[in-house]
């Protein structure tokens, strides 16, 4: 065995498909946000009066959308741009982002807001109201405004202490009617329903200013992935078809979750898979492997293969072999049927007719073993296309063959 140092050195110095891997991480804030222009415009609209007459009213806005739909990154980019725009207009505005998973109580939240603004408040001995008063007075003294984003706000609201605390946040200026309103809030939440318990005297303030983030569609995810991949990977590492494949398995309109977070994570894992085998490009099987890592429920699906009957197994194997042979993400049902007939002979089965095969295909799809889509343009005649993202094909192939042999 080579020395430990040599092993580590070889690994570290081996080439990588990543040019700037960190640009694919969730913490990285990209400079542009495809398909979030509408939300940025809505935010700007809601803060418009701040720029025309700062301090006149307190802004309270709610960003709502499911996992990975860009709420955090949109809020951060908005905050950064609003601050520099304000500074060009001679207004001192700072953006602060607080995660309510990390700061779980109101005093912690106020303390961390102050810390980010460079304001030192006593860490102990003061109530939330007293801390809030200290923060407001210090902002006044410094002639500074702040937009505070409270991320994972639904988590905070769900906790019993959250309900009263929300009042303190949302109505912070109730006792300072004549003071300039220097604190503004962006609340970020996955759903509205978790906020239903909040007292209407607080919730009306932000529930009327909602910016919605819908799950990303196939083509939206493709645009996002393309931009991020161009920044983070070396040219030629991933093809357009492979980026479309990731967008297909995650796109909301194709039955996926519509999360850019998951799509980007699949891209990172697929790149790591290529790196681990010292290849200079990403393959479809790297993506399938990555998909299973990112979505562990797919690994369970692999186990459930053993519940399929013999006919379904042969049909599934035909799809696997057709995909392997084609090297693409999807194959036509007709090509699967050709292989299916040959395999039926090999496994001593009477092949089923086209309509029955089609029914089996739909069953396999509803069980999550395969994905289907219509061929659309670019193919002669309309046909059903079939793909598998549940696992790398070679893993599935040997599993299904083993099950067929056992039977």
Ligand X SMILES: Nc1ncnc2c1ncn2[C@@H]1O[C@H](COP(=O)(O)OP(=O)(O)OP(=O)(O)O)[C@@H](O)[C@H]1O
Judged by CB under 6 A, the chain residues 273 through 302 that form the site for ligand X are: none
Q: 């219509």: which residue's tokens?
A: 374
Structure tokens at 257: 């979750």
Asked if residue 260 binds ligand X (CB under 6 A), the reply is yes
Among residue numbers 67 through 126, which ones bind ligand X (CB under 6 A)? 67-73
Least CB distance to ligand X at residue 281 (A): 23
Please state the closest distance from residue 24 (CB atom) to ligand X, in A: 7
Residue 65 C-beta: closest distance to ligand X, Å:
6
Contact between 267 and ligand X by CB under 6 A: the answer reads no
Residue 71 among known ligand-binding residues = yes
- Which of 224, 232, 292, 344 is the binder for ligand X (CB under 6 A)? 224
Q: Which is nearer to ligand X, 183 or 268 (CB)?
A: 268
Token pair 């299904």: residue:
400
Which x/- pattern, by CB under 6 A, does the window 25-54 give for ligand X? -x---x--xxxx------------------
Binders of ligand X among residues 161 to 200 (CB under 6 A) are 190
* Number of residues counted as binding ligand X (CB under 6 A): 20
- Closest-CB residue for ligand X? 70
Binding segment toward ligand X, per CB under 6 A, in 11-19, 49-57, 65-73, 83-91: 65-73
Q: Write down the least CB distance from residue 36 to ligand X, Å.
A: 5
For residue 225, state whether it binds ligand X (rule: CB under 6 A): no
Q: For the chain, how many residues are written?
A: 407
HEC secondary structure over the chain:
CCCHHHHHHHHHHCCCCECCHHHHCCCCCCCCCCCCHHHHHHHHHHCHHHHHCCCCCCCEEEEEECCCCCHHHHHHHHHHHHHHHHHHCCCCEEEEEEECCCCCCHHHHHHHHHHHCCCCCCCCCCCHHHHHHHHHHHHHHHCCEEEEEEECHHHHHHCHHHHHHHHHHHCCCCCCCCCCCCEEEEEEECCCHHHCCCCHHHHHHHHCCEEEECCCCHHHHHHHHHHHHHHHECCCCCCHHHHHHHHHHHCHHHCCCCCHHHHHHHHHHHHHHHHHCCCCCCCHHHHHHHHHHHCCHHHHHHHHHHHCCHHHHHHHHHHHHHHHHHCCCCEEHHHHHHHHHHHHHHCCCCCCCHHHHHHHHHHHHHCCCCEEEECCCCCCCCCEEEECCCCCHHHHHHHHHHHHHHC
Closest to ligand X by CB, 119 vs 260, is 260
The verdict on whether residue 73 carries a ligand-binding annotation is: yes
Does the annotation flag 65 for ligand binding?
no
Distance of CA 246 to the CA centre of its chain: 13
Q: Is 228 annotated as a binding residue?
A: yes
Nearer to ligand X, 190 or 373 (CB): 190
Instruction: Please indicate if the annotation marks 69 as binding a ligand.
Output: yes
Q: Check the annotation: does 6 bind a ligand.
A: no
Residue whose CB is less far from ligand X, 28 or 173: 28
Residue 72 is labelled as binding a ligand: yes
Please return the burial class of 141, using the count of CB atoms within 10 Å of its CB with bins 0-12, 13-18 and 19+: exposed
Q: Of the two residues 130 and 253, which places its CB atom closer to ligand X in the complex?
A: 253
Name the residue nearer to ligand X (CB basis): 225 or 314. Answer: 225
Instruction: Give the residue, chosen from 62, 264, 336, 388, that forms a contact with ligand X under the rule CB under 6 A.
Output: 264
- In angstroms, what is the minimal distance from the CB of 264 to ligand X? 5
Give whichever of 106 and 264 is closer to ligand X, judged by the CB atom.
Answer: 264
* Residues engaged in binding ligand X (CB under 6 A): 26, 30, 33-36, 65, 67-73, 190, 213, 224, 260-261, 264
Name the binding residues for ATP.
69-73, 216, 228
């Amino acid at each position: 065995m080579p020395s430990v140092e040599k092993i580590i050195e070889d690994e570290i110095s081996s080439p990588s498909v990543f040019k700037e891997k960190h640009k694919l991480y969730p913490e990285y804030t990209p400079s542009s946000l495809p398909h979030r222009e509408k939300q940025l415009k809505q935010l700007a609209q809601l803060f418009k009066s701040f720029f025309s007459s700062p301090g006149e009213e307190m802004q309270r806005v709610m960003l709502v959308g499911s996992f990975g739909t860009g709420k955090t990154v949109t809020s951060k980019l908005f905050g950064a741009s609003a601050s520099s725009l304000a500074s060009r207009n001679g207004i001192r505005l700072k953006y602060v982002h607080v995660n309510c998973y990390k700061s779980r109580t109101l005093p912690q939240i106020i303390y961390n807001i102050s810390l980010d603004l460079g304001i030192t408040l006593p860490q102990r001995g003061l109530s939330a109201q007293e801390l809030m008063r200290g923060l407001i007075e210090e902002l006044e003294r410094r002639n500074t405004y702040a937009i505070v984003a409270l991320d994972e706000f639904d988590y905070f609201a769900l906790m019993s202490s959250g309900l009263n605390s929300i009042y303190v946040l949302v109505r912070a200026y109730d006792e300072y009617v004549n003071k300039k309103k220097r604190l503004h809030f962006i609340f970020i939440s996955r759903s509205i329903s978790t906020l239903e318990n909040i007292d209407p005297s607080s919730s009306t303030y932000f529930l009327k200013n909602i910016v919605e983030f819908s799950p990303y569609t196939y083509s939206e995810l493709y645009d996002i992935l393309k931009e991020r991949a161009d920044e983070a990977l070396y040219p030629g590492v991933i093809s357009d078809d492979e980026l479309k494949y990731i967008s297909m398995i995650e796109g909301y309109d194709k039955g996926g979750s519509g999360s850019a977070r998951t799509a980007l994570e699949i891209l990172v894992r697929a790149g790591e898979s290529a790196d681990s085998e010292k290849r200079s490009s990403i393959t479809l099987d790297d993506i399938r492997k990555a998909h299973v890592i990112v979505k562990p429920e797919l690994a369970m699906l692999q186990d459930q293969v053993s519940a399929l009957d013999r006919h379904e197994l042969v049909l599934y194997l035909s799809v696997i072999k057709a995909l392997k042979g084609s090297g693409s993400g999807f194959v036509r049902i007709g090509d699967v049927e050709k292989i299916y007939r040959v395999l039926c002979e090999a496994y001593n089965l009477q092949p089923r007719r086209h309509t029955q095969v089609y029914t089996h295909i739909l069953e396999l799809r509803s069980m999550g073993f395969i994905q289907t889509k219509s061929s659309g343009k670019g193919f002669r005649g309309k046909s059903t296309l079939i793909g598998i993202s549940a696992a790398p094909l070679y893993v599935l192939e040997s599993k299904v063959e083993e099950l067929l042999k056992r039977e």
